[in-house]
Structure formats: structure tokens, C-alpha cells
Chain A
Amino acid sequence: MSLSRRIAALFRIKVTKALNRAEDPREVLDYSYEKQLEMLTKVNRGLADVATSRRRIELQMDQLTSSSGLLSTQAREAVAVGHEGLAREALTRRAAVTAQLADLEAQKRSVQADEEKLTVAAHRLKAKVEAFRTRKETIKATYTAAEAQSRINEAVSGISEEMGDVGMAMQRAEDRTTQLQARAGALDELLASGALEDATRPAGRDDIQEQLDQLTGGGEIEAELSRMRAALPPGSGKAES
């Protein structure tokens, strides 16, 4: 059997289970509708979680952008007064900030993609649930249990498949959100230490210094220091003692 038929068959197993749940097939309609409303609530909650995750990333990006500006200023000022060690520290930390910003930018894109997908999925599910509600009332009002069977099968198949699809999209988004939250937590700690903000503050814990070192390469910083020294007006500044 082809791949796409096999996946379709897996979805149908779920439907069959749902349909076999009640003696009168019409009861299945109400049971399924209840599940649909629960699913809609879950999807909306999932969307809210993803939006919160995106806002947290944006907030961290704002913080890092302002840190980057501050560290650049510190580096320039440090070079001007001949305090090269501090300038190097400021540039090292700014390089770490830049690396984090690039990482956050990628995270933000992935969260936005999830948000868009879930929004579309939620919209479609809502339209189908509404269609199901109307269909359900028609079936219950018009048909006997025996007559209703095939109409119920079709409606329940359609909605169950949609719920399975949306449910899978939500799981994927949730998994990603959980991963991102863990990373955001680690970054919040780094931000709270002040190490990404101000070169005059000690990095404090060893693991923070280690992270800073890992995030930055040395070559670019030396090059930038030379550029800053070259940009000084002749005769200004003094050699570091």
C-alpha cells in the first residue's frame, strides 16, 4: 500500500473507534462535537503560548540591541583613554551579543511560522466545527438511526481527520516552544548577570565567562581594536600602561 494510503488508513482507525463508541450512531455526533469544542479551546491556548514565546524573544532582542550600542560606546571610550583591556572586554561581550541576536532572529522566524500555521489551522477547524454543528442538527432531526449512519460516518470522518491534523501541528509547535523557552531561560540568566550589557561589570560566575568565550572568536576583535585606534585623532589617547 502506498505511503499516503497508509497514513490515511491510520487516520481512519481513529474514526472507526469514535464511531463504535455508541449504540445509536447519533450519540456519536454529540460526543464528537464536545471533543471539537475542547480542541478549539486547546488550539487557542496553543496560539496564545506561541505568541507569548514570540514576545519574549522580541523583548530579549530589544535588550540585546541596546546592550550592543552601549558596549560599542564603552569600547570607543576605552580606546580613547588608552584602556585597551576594557575595550577588548567590551568588544568581546558585544560579539557575544551579536551572536545571540542572530540566534534570536532565527528563533523568532520559526515561532512566527508556527504562529501563522496555527492561525490558519484554527480558522479552518472553526469553520469545520461550525459546519459540523449544523450538519449534526440536520441529521438528528431528519434521519432515523439506521438512515443516519452513512451521513454520520462522513461528517465524523471529516472532522476527526481535521482534528488529528490540527493536533499534530499543535504538538510540533508545543515541542518547539518548550525548547525555545529553555533557551530563553538560559539567556535571561546571562542577561541578568549584566555580562552582556556592561564591560565594567565582572562576568561573575565562571560559566558565564566561558559562554562569552565560546560565543566569540578572537581575530575579529583584534581587528576592530586596531580600527578604533586608527580612528583616534593623532596625538590623542595614550598607550596602556
Chain B
Amino acid sequence: MITRILGEGQFDVDEDRLSELNVLDEALQAAIDSGQEAAFDTSLRALLDAARRFGTPLPETTLTGSELVLPAQDSTLEQVRALLGDEGLIPG
């Protein structure tokens, strides 16, 4: 499953690991919904670590869309909220 970590590039993540990623993804969503900064930071780091660990980086010349897109490591809760709230935030 092609996965992008914003600011880092794309990874090919083993499908078998998807359920583990989903759990971490849900934890991040919960932190965003409840507006808890500390939980947001922890769960974002856990999700990105897992994606990097389960994934193989794609070559730079690969041209393909991603099924999953994860927020950048240094994003704040506010930034992710804004991103979700408005497609107009994505440039290009």
C-alpha cells in the first residue's frame, strides 16, 4: 500500500501491517478530536515510526499517487485540523 509521509516522501507499506497502522491512525484521530496536544504528538510520532518501519521508501523517480497520506512529523494539531477542514490548503 503506497503511503506518503508529508515532508518525507512515499513508502510501500506491507498490506499485512495495515491493521496495525489503522489502530495508530485511530489514536491520532481521537487526539485531534479531543484537542489534546500531548496525545497528538505521541500518537503522530507512533504512527510515523510505524509507517517508516513497515514501509520501504519508493525510488525518487516513482510517479504514483498514495492511498494513505500521513501528516508531517513537525505538524501541529492546529495544522492537521486546518488541513482536514479545507482542501484549498493543499497547494499545487
Contacts and interface: CB of A to CB of B under 8 A. Distances in A.
A145 interface: no
A36 B60 CA distance: 15
A7 B25 contact: no
Interface string A100-141: 000000000000000001000101100110111001000000
Contacts of B69: 4, 7-8, 10-11, 161
Contacts of B7: 117, 121, 165, 168-169
Chain A interface category by residue count:
35 or more
Contacts, number: 111
Most chain B beta carbons < 10 A, residue from A3, A6, A172: A3
Nearest to B59: A127
A5 B28 CA distance: 13
Contacts of B47: 4
B38 interface: no
B65 A154 contact: yes
Contacts of A2: 22, 25-26, 29, 68
B29 to A, nearest CB: 5
Interface in B77-92: 79, 83-84, 87, 89-92
Interface of B: 3-4, 6-7, 9, 21-22, 25-26, 28-29, 32, 47, 60-72, 74, 79, 83-84, 87, 89-92
Interface of A: 2-8, 10-15, 35, 39, 117, 121, 123-124, 127-128, 130-132, 135, 154-155, 157-161, 163-172
